[in-house]
Amino acid sequence: MSLKERFNNLEPRQKKVVIWAGIGAIFLALVATGYKSSKTDDSIGFFGQKKTREIQLEPDLIQKTMLREQRRQFDTIVETVDRIQDELKIIRKTTKEKPLPEIPTADQVTAKAKTTDPPQEIKQPWPLPPGGSTTPGNLPPHAQPEVKIIGEISVLSNPAAAAGGMDGQIQNDKKKGRTVYLPPSFMEAKLLTGFDASTSGQGTNNPEPLLLRIQTPAVLPNDIKANLSGCFVIAEAVGRLDKERADVRLVSLSCLSNEGKAIIDTPVKGFVTDSDSKVGLSGRVVSRMGAATARTIVAGFFGGMGDMLKSAATTQSTSALGTTTTVDSTQVAKYSIGGGLSEGAASLHDFYLSLAKQATPVIEVGAAKKITVIISEGKELEIREIEGEPF
């Protein structure tokens, strides 16, 4: 059966599908033909992908290029070396043309010295005081002791006196030791020991001792720092119940050199501030007199009971001779119990009352507190040398 007969035998619906399929195939063929004819670049395919091309490099060409570059660099180096050699030759020629100065002989030096003026008498640059003393106070301004900066603190030294051979004064200076001046300053420290500062009048007369350790260099005026890290400060604390703080006053400063050959131990004046920058150390108010006060009240109660028993066992009579107190013969036991209870309670009352007076409130401050130590008055710190083996 031919295609025409098969097409005629199809249903109308199937014929319509076949016709539209043929029309679509023809349209696609026309579009593809027109698109291919419009493209001039053969490297791009029909669906837009790029065609790959194989590129082959000749090994001989690469080697020739590298050889040419190395030869060019070598020629540059040779030109630089030739230029440097030419400059060296010019320098050598100029040095040979200038003759070196002749060294005079010993006879020429002696003859020249004889022709010069005779030496003049050396005079003292300044008049000496009576007795020839050259102490720093008697020296002129240009010969005064110069100031050296050691550890950011000024130290006075007198080289003129040392050069003059004043053995006695040097020995005295060695005995006294060197001194450095510590002006008013502040430094961060840590509280190593906790304490309970009493707030009573007796606590003011007997302050609590405490130990501080300086943590950072001291800040001096004009942004200058002195290395006092590691030094110990002894201080005393007194409690203040109205402020609930402990007032701390410095007692002494102790420092030791790293080699253990010099030590500073001198009294200082100053105070301490807490982390809130207020004077004194904040603490917790602790009162331990509650139990003693309660015992005093109980003892007074029993004392009153004893007095009541004594008065119940006695009778009072008033006559022209006065008031007389008699003990009822039937109440002797009651009177004895009341008397003993009254006397014992009175003794306990006095004892607990004294304990209550001693157990006044205290300001409790714990250790390891970060504080600030302030030197309120400048001080000459004497540096004493330690004889013998260092620590």
Check residue 99 and give its pLDDT: 58
Specify whether 248 is located in the same domain as 215: yes
Same domain, 294 and 159: no
d(CA 371, CA 366): 12
Q: Is residue 11 part of a domain?
A: no
CATH number of the domain that 242 lies in?
2.40.128.260
172 and 274 housed in the same domain = no
Per-residue model confidence (pLDDT) at position 70: 84
Report the mean per-residue pLDDT for the chain. 75
β-partners of residue 239 are: 246
**What pLDDT was estimated at residue 140?**
55
Q: Are residues 271 and 201 in the same domain?
A: yes
Residue 255 lies in a domain: yes
Note the Cα 179 to chain centre separation in Å.
26
Same domain, 278 and 301: no
Of residues 53 and 286, which shows the higher confidence score?
Answer: 286
Tens of pLDDT, residue by residue over 163-215, are 444 454 545 555 556 888 999 999 999 999 999 988 876 666 789 999 999 99
Question: What per-residue confidence (pLDDT) applies to 27?
Answer: 82
User: Which of residues 158, 176, 194 is at a domain's end?
Assistant: 176
Selected residue with higher pLDDT from 215 and 335:
215
Indicate whether 113 belongs to any domain.
no
Cβ-contact 216, 187 below 8 angstroms: yes
Q: Centre a 10 Å sphere on the Cβ of residue 289 and count the other Cβ atoms it contains.
A: 16
Residues 214 and 350 in one domain: no
Q: How many domains does the chain have?
A: 3
For residue 151, pLDDT beyond 50: no
Together in a domain, 205 and 350: no
pLDDT at 356 over 70: yes
Q: CA–CA separation, 123 vs 144, rounded Å? A: 19
- For residues 146 and 212, the model is more confident at 212
Is 225 inside any structural domain? yes
**Beta-bridge partners for 265:** 254
Is residue 5 assigned to a domain? no
Same domain, 278 and 206: yes
Would residue 124 count as lying in a domain?
no
Q: Hunting for tokens 């098969």 — which residue is that?
A: 6
Of the candidates 150, 176, 202, which is a domain's last residue?
A: 176
Q: 157 pLDDT exceeds 70? A: no
Q: Which region among 30-34, 213-217, 288-292, 366-370 has the lowest average model confidence (pLDDT)?
A: 288-292
258 and 169 assigned to the same domain = no
Percent of the chain with pLDDT over 90: 19
- Does residue 372 have a pLDDT over 80? yes
Same domain, 148 and 295: no
pTM of the model: 0.46
Is 380 in the same domain as 295? no
Rounded to a whole number of angstroms, the distance between the first and last alpha carbons of the chain is 127
Q: Of 110-119, 155-164, 295-304, which range is least confident?
A: 155-164
Q: Is the pLDDT of residue 129 over 60?
A: no
The C-alpha atoms of residue 30 and residue 120 are separated, in whole angstroms, by 127
Confidence band for 305, pLDDT divided at 50, 70 and 90: confident
251/160 same-domain check: no
Residue 154 pLDDT level (bands cut at 50, 70, 90): very low
Asked, for residue 198, whether it belongs to a domain, the answer is yes
Domain boundaries, position 151: 141-176
In a domain, 368, yes or no: yes
Cβ atoms within 10 Å, residue 157: 14
